[in-house]
Every structure is written in C-alpha cells, then in structure tokens.
A and B are shown apart, each in its own frame.
Chain A
Amino acid sequence: MRPVSTRSTGVVLLWLLLAGFLVLGALPNQTASIRLGGLSMLWWYGGLLAPLLGVLVAIRWLADPLPVPPRDE
C-alpha cells in the first residue's frame, strides 16, 4: 500500500474543491444564485474562492519535499 503523502492530501483537497462546486450547484431553491455583494454564491465559490484555495493547496501540499542533505558520519 502506498504511504499517504502530502501530495495525496493535496490531491484529495483539490477533488473536494471541485466537488464543492457540484454540491453548491445542486442545492435546492437555487441557493447558488443568491447574490452576496453583487455576485452570486456560485460565482464567489467557483470563480474566486475555489481557484484561490487551489493555489494555496498546490503551494502547501503539491511541492516535492526538499532533498535531505547527506549526513556526515
């Protein structure tokens, strides 16, 4: 079994961001169309919040760990 790495965490979080859009769009009574500050909730999430969080996830979890410097015995 593969170990759970930081990259796996990042990938799961990115999937959740995508799933969030689908869930928001499926809420009853057109909840996603509700306007907040001039923009619909769906647009706040899909156009602004989720892409920004995607960048943060990439920076925090998708980078490879720095190589461990060789230890002098």
Chain B
Amino acid sequence: MTSVSRVLAVWLTPVALLAVPAALCGRAADGLWLGLAWALVPLIVLGLHAGPRPPGGRRDERGSLFPVVTLLLAVGVLLWANIALAGDVAVWLGAPRWQGIVVTALAGWLLTAWRPLRRTAPLLLSIALVAAVAPLLQVAWAVGLGPIAAWDRVATQAAFRFPPASPWVTTGRSLATAHGRAPLIFEEVHRLTAPAGGMLRARTLDATRPAEIEWTLAPGQSVTLRAGDELVPGATLRLRFEADKRVPGAPASGMAWAEVRSPRWLDRIGLLVTLLVGAAALLRAGLTLRFSRNGAAFVAAGLLVAFAWAQAWAVYAVLQSPDLFLGGVTLERLLEVPGAALFAEPGRRTLQALLLVAGLAAFLASSVALRERLGALDPTGGGEIGSDPGLWAGLFGGAALASLWPVDPWALTLLALGGAGCALGPAALYPPPPGRVALATTAGVVGLLVFATFAAAQLRGAGGALLSSAIGYPALVGAPAGALVLWLGRGRAG
C-alpha cells in the first residue's frame, strides 16, 4: 500500500467522515472549525521535519514496545468506535444492533487476516468515494439547488419543522433512536401519538412549579404537551409527531444555526491539539514519510474532497430532514438518505445501499491501513504484529463485543487520538536525539498519565468552568506535559 492511500485511509474513518457533517448540523461555526482542522492538520503533521535520524539511517529499536502497545490500544479503540457506529446504523435502519456489528467486524477481520486482500485500501477508498458522492449528486439534483443556494435556504429558515413525509410523522419511530444529548424540550403545543402504546414521562411546568407526569398510553392514544414541557430521557416507545411543528432540540431558526457566536477559545484549541498530536501518532510516529508533488497533491485533494462532501451533505440533510435535530444530531442519522419525499422506491433503496457501501468500504480501508500502520511500527517483530490473525481476531472480537452497548463513537475516536497522541505525538513532532529512546518513552508515559487523569475526570463528569476545556480535551494538558519532559530531557543531555 502506498503511503498516500495509507494516510487517507487511516484518517478518513467513517466516524471521522460523519462527525464533521454532524457537527456542522449542530453548530455551524464549530463544525466548520472541526472540518477545517481535520482537513489541514494531517498536512501540517506530514510537513513537519522528522528530525535527525540515527547514524546509518537505522532506528534505535530499544524500548520500542511502548509505542507498539500504545498504538495497538488506540487502533482497538478506533475499531470499537467504528463498529459501534455500524451497530447504531443498523438500529436506525430498523435492523438488530448485533447484525450491523457482526457484518462489519467479520468483514474487517477477514480483510486484515487474508493476505491477498491486504493491498485493497486504494480500491476501497475509491469505492467509498464513488458510493458517497453519487447519493450527494442525486440529492442535489432532486432538490434543484447547488450547495451555496441550499446553505442560503437553510440559513434563512424561520424555524426547523417536521416535514409531512418524515418517518417521525408518518409511521413514528422509537424514542430510543433519538439518543443525542440535546433535551427534548417543546417550544409550542405538540400532540404526540403512540401507535403501539407505552409509557411516557414528561417534566411540565404547572404554574411555576415543575412537575413530572407519567402516562400509560394505549395503542393509538395521544398526549398533548405544551411549550416548555420536556420529555424525560430513557423512553423507548414509538411516537408520532405532528407535521409542520417545530423540532424539539433544533436551533430556533436558520439564522440562529448560521450565526457566529463568540467561540470558546480553549475548546477550539483543545480540539486542535487533540487532532494534531493524534495525527502525529497515527500518521507519523516511527515512520519516515516522503511525498512526491503528486503524492502531496493526492493527500491534500483527498482531504479537501472529504471536507467538501461533509459540508454539502450536512447542508442538504438539514434542508431536507430537519427532524435529524430531534434529541441532538447523531452520526448514524447522517448515513440515511435525506428527504423522505425526495425519492420513490426502489431508487431510494439504491441510494441507501450506496451510502452503506461507502461507509463499509471506508471502514475496511481504514482497518487495512491501521493494520499496516501498526506493522510498520514493530521493527523488532519484523511487522509480525500486523499479520497475526489471532491478535486481530481478538481485537475485532473485543471491539465487536464492546459495541453491543451503545457509546458515542466520536467521543471514543477523540479518546483514541488524544491517548495515542499524548503518548507518541510529542516525540513524533519533537524527536529526542539519536540513542535516547528511553527519553521518548518517559515523555510518552508522563503524557499518557496526565491524559488518563483528565480523561477519568471527564468520565466522572467532574470539573468546574476553569478546567472544563482540559477535561473535555485531556490532550490539551497531556501533550504539553509530554513535550515538557522531552524538552527537559534534551536540555540535560545537551
């Protein structure tokens, strides 16, 4: 596999590809920052100097177990995130969760275990590109608006309302599929119908006193909520919403969606640092990459095309399916063809199949590339770690098992990037002198410990306003800690 396709395949995982449009749908300006940083950071990392090489051009292999183990764990978490996304997609499309997980994990393992299929990443990336762009062009053609006109239409919407053809209006959907973080607060009177019945709980404002009400609805029975009422999270019954009513959790208007609010600077820097050190660990650590002009152009153009697709897909999705705001935008909803009324069957099913093929092809390409990446970092074993079917079966099996429980795939991806980045990133960007591998390991261990401390605080939901950015993006603290150790060690050596 060429370095060029490996770089693109490692970076363009399905979770990353969908996280950008999801962020763009939720908060346009923040999503734009994520997309821009995501597209430019790999170029920055690849453009940095690799530092002095040991005499004779050989790597010092002592103490190289630490980066191999760290990267192995990071690859495992990345696989977990993507397989969990496959489970979410299966549930969203009405299939059992385990089916999406088994198909994805099995295909990934077969591709990494079967030697003749190991050089298929460029082909898989091409398939993903074609299969993702074709539905986008179809949607643009059906809507009859270019991306800029579609953005203008979204940004001038008075409110985001349920389209009459939305599945949330026609047949209803299980509330369990709306598992985003946004509260389900209603801004106007809204009648909800439970086609199959079930229990529903809501927090209401009775005069000025908050109260929690529980209804046991018979099949087909309705309940009316008022402005300010909120559905209590955790309900799993199927609900039908009213057409042309505001979507709970959506921005107040298109203008509110598009406006540039005062940014949270530390959050933006935290995201940038996480992506930077994560890219350094995944794309750079232990490797010497050399690109021709064509190679650099190919990587940059691939990232640009992915970012352009993400922007256009987000805009058309918001324009045609504003119901994706319900409960907060989640990744799996963006793998559905937007606009229930846009396409008739079987054209819609074909486009949906193309989107799934794109996601699976991107996952398989990234699996193959991550395996090769890991093998390239294992000089002592001659790359054996990248071609051990038992190890990879364990990795895919563990990731598949963990994916049975829903998790936030983007949070897992950031965890993998941040952890691997704090352990390997500083040494990859600021290499220690030849023969000082132990210094890189010490810096990596310190960076990883600091990262783990703040990540644990994130899991516990601790931290005040001052530390919220460091807890939200633990690499903001872990990476500088590792870099500081490297700098002090170099100073003592010098």
Could you tell me which A residues sit within 8 Å of B by CB distance?
Answer: 2, 5, 7-8, 10-11, 14-15, 17-18, 21-22, 25-26, 30, 32-33, 35, 37-40, 42-43, 46-47, 50-52, 54-55, 57-59, 61-64, 66
Which residue of chain A lies nearest to B44 when distances are taken between CB atoms in the complex? A14
Provide the residues of chain B in CB contact with A22, threshold 8 Å: 263, 265, 268
Chain B hits for A17, CB < 8 A: 36, 40
B437 near A: Cβ within 8 Å?
A: no
Once the chains bind, are A39 and B36 in contact (CB under 8 Å)? Answer: no
Q: Is B406 an interface residue (CB 8 A)?
A: no
| Contact sample, A vs B, 14 pairs, CB 8 Å cutoff | A2-B49, A8-B49, A18-B37, A22-B263, A22-B265, A22-B268, A26-B263, A38-B151, A47-B35, A47-B311, A51-B39, A51-B304, A57-B43, A59-B297
Contact A42–B260 (Cβ < 8 Å): yes
B133 contacts chain A at the CB level, 8 A cutoff: no
Instruction: Tell whether, in the assembled complex, residue A37 and residue B39 are in contact, meaning their CB atoms are under 8 Å apart.
Output: no
Residues of B within 8 A of A (CB): 28-29, 32-33, 35-37, 39-40, 43-44, 46-49, 148-149, 151-152, 155, 258-260, 262-263, 265, 268, 272, 290-297, 299-301, 303-304, 307-308, 311
CA distance A37 to B301 in the complex (A): 25
A7 to B290 alpha-carbon distance, docked (Å):
11
Say yes or no: A62-B260 contact (C-beta < 8 A), given A2-B49, A7-B49, A42-B32.
no
Q: Is B304 touching A25 in the complex (CB atoms < 8 A)?
A: no
How many interface contacts (CB-CB < 8 Å) are there between A and B?
121
Report the minimum CB–CB distance from B308 to chain A (whole Å).
7
* A24 CB → nearest B CB, Å: 8
- From B149, B259, B272, B307, contact of A18 by CB (8 A): B272
Residue of B149, B260, B308 contacting most chain A CB atoms (<10 Å)? B260
Q: Return chain A residues, CB-CB under 8 Å to B49.
A: 2, 5, 7-8
Contacts of A30 in B (CB 8 A): 259-260
Do B29 and A58 have beta carbons less than 8 Å apart?
Answer: no
The one of B36, B48, B296 that contacts A21, using a Cβ cutoff of 8 Å: B36
Residues of A near B304 (CB, < 8 A) are 51-52, 54-55
**CA A14 – CA B311 in complex, angstroms?**
20
Structural contact, B268 and A50, CB atoms closer than 8 A: no
Known contacts: A2-B49, A39-B152, A59-B297. The answer to whether A54 contacts B40 by CB under 8 A is: yes
CA distance A35 to B259 in the complex (A): 10
Which of B47, B263, B293, B300 neighbours the largest number of chain A CB atoms within 10 Å of its CB?
B47
Compute how far the CA of A30 lies from the CA of B262 in the bound complex, rounded to whole angstroms.
9
